[in-house]
Amino acid sequence: MKAQLLILADGRFPSGGHAHSGGLEAAVVRKRVSDLDSLRRFLIGRLYTSGLVGAAFAAAACADPGSMDGIDEELDARTPSPALRLASRRQGRSLWRAAAVVWPGPHVTKAGAVRKGLHQPVALGVVAEAAGCTPGESAAISAYHAVSGPASAAVRLLGLDPYQVHGLIAALGDDIDRVAQAATEAARGPAADLPAASSPLLDVSAEDHAAWEVRLFAS
Partner 1 sequence: MHPDDHGHEHGPDETPHTHPHPDVDPHAPLAESGTGQRAVRIGIGGPVGSGKTALVAALCRAMADDLRLAVVTNDIYTTEDADFLLRNGVLPAERIRAVETGCCPHTAIRDDISANLDAIEELEDSLGPLDVILVESGGDNLTATFSKGLIDKQIFVVDVAGGDKVPRKGGPGVTAADLLVINKTDLAPLVGADLAVMDRDATARRGALPTVFLSLVEDPSAKPVQEWIRGLM
One-letter amino acid at 96 equals W
Among 78, 156, 166, 178, binds partner 1 (CB under 8 A): 156
CB 83 within 8 A of CB 219: yes
The answer to whether residue 218 forms part of the interface with partner 1 (CB under 8 A) is yes
Residue 209 engages partner 1 in binding (rule: CB under 8 A): no
Q: Which of 6, 34, 82, 104 binds partner 1 (CB under 8 A)?
A: 104
- Among positions 1, 3, 101, 211, the unique one binding partner 1 when judged by CB under 8 A: 101
For position 216 contacting partner 1 by CB under 8 A, the verdict is yes
Nearer to partner 1, 16 or 136 (CB): 16
Between CA 83 and CA 50 the distance in angstroms is 14
**Listed ranges 31-39, 45-53, 153-161, 191-199: which one lies at the site for partner 1 (CB under 8 A):** 153-161
Q: Which amino acid is at 85?
A: R
Rounded to 10°, the helix 173-186/162-171 angle is 50
Q: What is the DSSP letter of 188?
A: T
The answer to whether residue 21 forms part of the interface with partner 1 (CB under 8 A) is: yes
Using the minimum distance from each CB to partner 1, give the nearer residue, 106 or 173.
106
* Minimum CB distance to partner 1 smaller for 87 or for 191: 87
* Burial status of residue 104 (CB atoms within 10 A of its CB: 0-12, 13-18, 19 or more): exposed
Q: What is the DSSP code (8-state) at residue 35? A: S
Task: Choose which of 1, 3, 170, 214 interacts with partner 1 (CB under 8 A).
Answer: 214
Kindly identify the residues of this chain, within the stretch 115-134, that bind partner 1 according to CB under 8 A: 115
CB of 154 to partner 1, least distance (A): 11
Q: Please give the C-alpha separations between residue 202 and each of 4, 25, 27, 109, 122, in angstroms, as whole numbers.
A: 31, 11, 9, 32, 20
